[in-house]
Structure 1
């Protein structure tokens, strides 16, 4: 990658350090000198800027010069890589004590590996890297703060795959990974076996196996706390897992294994990751793991969980697939904070009632078949879950009736999704309003007939970032409902992404000043509308627009009108100062 120009380097540096305030005159020269030593290398610029920006108070001029002098000759000479490492070391040593081990822990993962945020935080908790002496502390929330702090310090690169927490991830820059792998080795924090001839220490604490072609000395692993395997042909051939009696983390995700009968002997286990393995049966002895915090069974061949699972009273995170049958007695899992995905297709009234006892749940995903007997019980159970901040309900069978107009959503609900196309609300529920859902950031919903008033009410949600709404009455007819202009410039204040399916929410629906942060807009457009004299497709008043997705519906239009509609839409996108990407379907 070519070095950045002086102008671009300065813009990147100033934006990170000073935001929109601009550089104070007394720091202009020292900023130039620091940027010169960064040599136009983006990682160096961001790392130094993050170091200077991270404290709550602006560093003094003397502190800026102290940092400048400590960098050395900079990246403008032949020793650029060594100086880059030195710059990164400044960032590492500037980390508070609680963040250093969390960063070193990332050396477990291979180069360019997509590290899922939720998984990482649960592993941090299982290893004791995230802890609090106060019993009622939200450990996941604390771990989330640690993750965000590493992002803000530019030590990790965030990847937003989806709004859901379990779909967010990060990567580690190659040079940062090289540094933390080196530090982890020096401190005997993580042992990496990747086929590069790394020396194995006398005492292995955490083992990351990234290549199966190697010799493994089991005698050095008696006190091993963590095993993560990224390759096959290791378990049962090179490693006797049952001999690692103090193991806390066992992560087999993606490995070709089927037999885990020994896990019942690993009494100290906190994290068991079996996602995308060939495991068909979970041993009854799983109930002996009284310290287990996370159990991930997604993508396995397990159909029924053993009854002993309900004895895991410390379990905080349980990931299952919707086809897996949970045993009766799940109300005993009193520590559970994350449950996905619970199936309720077999009219099990007791299971629905037991769900209401899991009052610590923050994240819930439920598959549910519309049933009059269960409807009221499910609403009562959901009403008890006052800590929920993420709720995904996959409903089969038609109209959603169990969430009546009387339902009061949890105050801190941030995500609400009804994703299956086979379920809908007759009208927009009255509890979807600014006072009941003041923190909601994500909404996915289908309504039989969407009105302009409904869009107006949704637009008043003060924190809403992502919206996906469909008019289900038009979906099967391949038609579109027309929307009139919204009445307030204060609508959609935080929205960054809005998808209106089977809804003609053309850009001119938004008055100037509304949706100031909207980056991605999707809507349906009837080609017949192009014949109207007053059709307005201008999108220049949406200042943040980056992508526009339009499904053009032919309805009664001619091929010529369809062609003209697409031409006009392209011209409207081209007229926008941002030249947003236009996807026409």
Structure 2
């Protein structure tokens, strides 16, 4: 109720309308039907585009954890997100839709270490959505508890029945698929009709399915209206080249380790390529100038890297290949990605003189997460300051040399929730002890630092939200401190939210 009223203006008549609309629902607050009336009022009070987005959540099973970007990309494929402002992408607008549903308390965010990356729907809200979905024929759900009418016209199909009984298969077989716009299959791949039966399909989400060797994707290229294609584990590990026929395709999500189709550069409407397997990027990738997400891939040549210089809309980049990353042009390209929100580098091993990101000298102002693995910097870069990184929530990197003043700068980052640093102090013999001062790291909940020499000191009022501390202690330095000062005090008692401390005690030969 508070969320509903907060969205109303300070107009007495508007508030009276709210009171009159929900008054009957409050007469018996133990009655589920009356509670649904209140929830229904919140639903009908929303603009139509938000209603469609909310109803789409009825396509997912109870207690599902729904990936945020997955949901927004489905909304985009359905055409629910339209009317962007200059400089605003469809994804950004979709993110604002989801935030509004969260603010109305109709969707619940689920947080990881640094941001909400998924969401869920309360059981009572989901019951309402499923009921409204059936009434409006928005979506047809097949699960163990629903008996479908064969004569029902299917617009969107959600296959949630894991048992895949003969009766369920018969129900699906008797349905007309000619008007189906969207198929979301959770665990009932055997119930999926032949792809040739779909005429106007825009969404095919099979990400939770194992697509076995005897399952054919040969008609996939005929789904010419497809905007969203999500495929689970594929056997054999081969995507058909016919995917290049899907000229309206916006999102490609696939779980396999084979190569991408060689003609993927023809799909100029693509905004997201997400592959769990790090395939090499094919030639022609530079034609995909609308691409906003590219993960998880390898860049196998300088030529491909130069071609990727055209991808200026990237928000998410996840790469693993090391040969190209040490090239100066990679850092120069990063300087141009002004819309980058997340950079992830995995499986990277570098020599001491190949700290590839020292030439990265401009901060992307929208960056939220830097997960660089073993890649990083010789010193903390000048742009890693609160003024330039107001939204940075997660930092994982290698820093060869970190000073107390650098640590203080990190402590002033206003949104930082997760900090994971590997330092070169242990091998360089740098005697550094970091002090977290009062008021520093106001949002930090996870701290992991490895490779430094002396232990932390936490002052009263530092890291008020820290829950997890993971640290390395070198036995030799610890004993020296204890002998010289009669002991040492880390100040752990000053960390009021601390729940878990993990320490690794190492003995270095002198």
Shorter-normalised TM range: 0.7 to 0.9
Q: Name the counterpart of 1:39.
A: none
Mapped partners of 2:292, 2:22: distance in 1:
46
Q: 1:153-192, aligned counterparts within 5 Å?
A: 153-163=104-114, 168-192=117-141
Give the structure-1-normalised TM-score.
Answer: 0.76
Tell me whether 1:220 sits opposite 2:179 in the alignment: no
Q: Name the counterpart of 1:52.
A: 5
Q: Name the counterpart of 2:345.
A: 393
Mapped partners of 2:157, 2:366: distance in 1:
39
Q: 1:542-557, aligned counterparts within 5 Å?
A: 542-543=495-496, 545-553=497-505, 555=507
Query: What is the CA deviation profile of residues 184-203 of structure 1, one whole-angstrom value per residue up to 9, with x for unaligned ones?
Result: 00000000111334333531
1:93 to 15, 36, 44: 44
Question: Would the aligned equivalents of 2:22 and 2:37 in 1 still touch at CA under 8 Å?
Answer: no
Query: What is the CA deviation profile of residues 297-347 of structure 1, one whole-angstrom value per residue up to 9, with x for unaligned ones?
Result: 1x224x122221110000000012353122111000111000012213x4x
Tell me whether 1:268 sits opposite 2:222 in the alignment: no
Give the structure-2-normalised TM-score.
Answer: 0.86
Q: 1:29-48, aligned counterparts within 5 Å?
A: 48=1
SS of the counterpart of 2:204? strand
Q: Tell me the CA shift for residue 249 of structure 1.
A: 0.2
Question: Larger relative contact order (C-alpha < 8 A, sep ≥ 6)?
Answer: 2
Q: Name the counterpart of 2:68.
A: 117
Change (3 A) 1:65 1:540: farther
Mapped partners of 2:391, 2:114: distance in 1:
14
2:422 to 460, 470, 479: 470
Mapped partners of 1:58, 1:539: distance in 2:
51
Mapped partners of 1:222, 1:371: distance in 2:
47
Q: Name the counterpart of 1:407.
A: 361
Using the TM superposition, name which of 454-463 and 429-438 deviates more. Answer: 429-438
Q: Name the counterpart of 1:340.
A: 295
Q: Name the counterpart of 2:185.
A: 229
Q: Name the counterpart of 1:523.
A: 471
Question: Would the aligned equivalents of 2:268 and 2:290 in 1 still touch at CA under 8 Å?
Answer: yes
Gaps of 5+ in 2: none
Using the TM superposition, name which of 390-399 and 94-103 deviates more. Answer: 390-399
Change (3 A) 1:58 1:415: farther
Following TM superposition, the consecutive aligned residue runs of length 4 or more in structure 1 with deviations greater than 6 angstroms are: 58-61, 504-507
Q: Tell me the CA shift for residue 552 of structure 1.
A: 4.7
Mapped partners of 1:58, 1:419: distance in 2:
53
Change (3 A) 1:55 1:466: farther
Question: Would the aligned equivalents of 2:241 and 2:263 in 1 still touch at CA under 8 Å?
Answer: yes
Query: What is the CA deviation profile of residues 252-301 of structure 1, one whole-angstrom value per residue up to 9, with x for unaligned ones?
Result: 1132324311111000000000133435221112111111000001x224
Query: What is the CA deviation profile of residues 32-52 of structure 1, one whole-angstrom value per residue up to 9, with x for unaligned ones?
Result: xxxxxxxxxxxxxxxx33333
Tell me whether 1:442 sits opposite 2:394 in the alignment: yes
Mapped partners of 2:377, 2:84: distance in 1:
45
Change (3 A) 1:197 1:534: closer
Mapped partners of 1:281, 1:160: distance in 2:
35
SS of the counterpart of 1:253? strand
Tell me whether 1:296 sits opposite 2:253 in the alignment: yes
Over the aligned positions, Cα root-mean-square deviation in angstroms equals: 3.1
- The size of the alignment, in residue pairs, is 491
Change (3 A) 1:72 1:254: closer
Tell me whether 1:353 sits opposite 2:306 in the alignment: yes
Question: Would the aligned equivalents of 1:522 and 1:549 in 2 still touch at CA under 8 Å?
Answer: yes
Q: Tell me the CA shift for residue 442 of structure 1.
A: 1.6
Q: Name the counterpart of 1:240.
A: 194
2:57 to 106, 119, 123: 106
Query: What is the CA deviation profile of residues 365-386 of structure 1, one whole-angstrom value per residue up to 9, with x for unaligned ones?
Result: 12131569x5112122222222
Q: Name the counterpart of 2:285.
A: 330
Mapped partners of 2:11, 2:502: distance in 1:
46
Question: Would the aligned equivalents of 1:285 and 1:308 in 2 still touch at CA under 8 Å?
Answer: no
Tell me whether 1:460 sits opposite 2:416 in the alignment: no
Tell me whether 1:496 sits opposite 2:445 in the alignment: yes
Q: Tell me the CA shift for residue 490 of structure 1.
A: 4.8
Change (3 A) 1:325 1:466: same
Change (3 A) 1:322 1:253: closer
Q: Name the counterpart of 1:148.
A: 99
Change (3 A) 1:406 1:449: closer
Tell me whether 1:203 sits opposite 2:153 in the alignment: yes
Mapped partners of 1:65, 1:219: distance in 2:
44
Change (3 A) 1:109 1:522: same
Mapped partners of 2:438, 2:280: distance in 1:
49
Q: Tell me the CA shift for residue 481 of structure 1.
A: 6.7
Question: Would the aligned equivalents of 2:358 and 2:377 in 1 still touch at CA under 8 Å?
Answer: no
Query: What is the CA deviation profile of residues 115-136 of structure 1, one whole-angstrom value per residue up to 9, with x for unaligned ones?
Result: 1111010000000111116575
Q: Name the counterpart of 1:255.
A: 209
Query: What is the CA deviation profile of residues 161-208 of structure 1, one whole-angstrom value per residue up to 9, with x for unaligned ones?
Result: 35477xx11122222111111100000000011133433353110000
Q: Tell me the CA shift for residue 519 of structure 1.
A: 4.2
1:132 to 76, 83, 88: 83
Mapped partners of 1:472, 1:412: distance in 2:
29
Q: 1:1-40, aligned counterparts within 5 Å?
A: none
Q: Name the counterpart of 2:271.
A: 316
1:306 to 261, 276, 281: 261
Tell me whether 1:73 sits opposite 2:27 in the alignment: yes
SS of the counterpart of 1:418? strand
Question: Would the aligned equivalents of 1:469 and 1:499 in 2 still touch at CA under 8 Å?
Answer: yes
Gaps of 5+ in 1: 1-47, 557-585
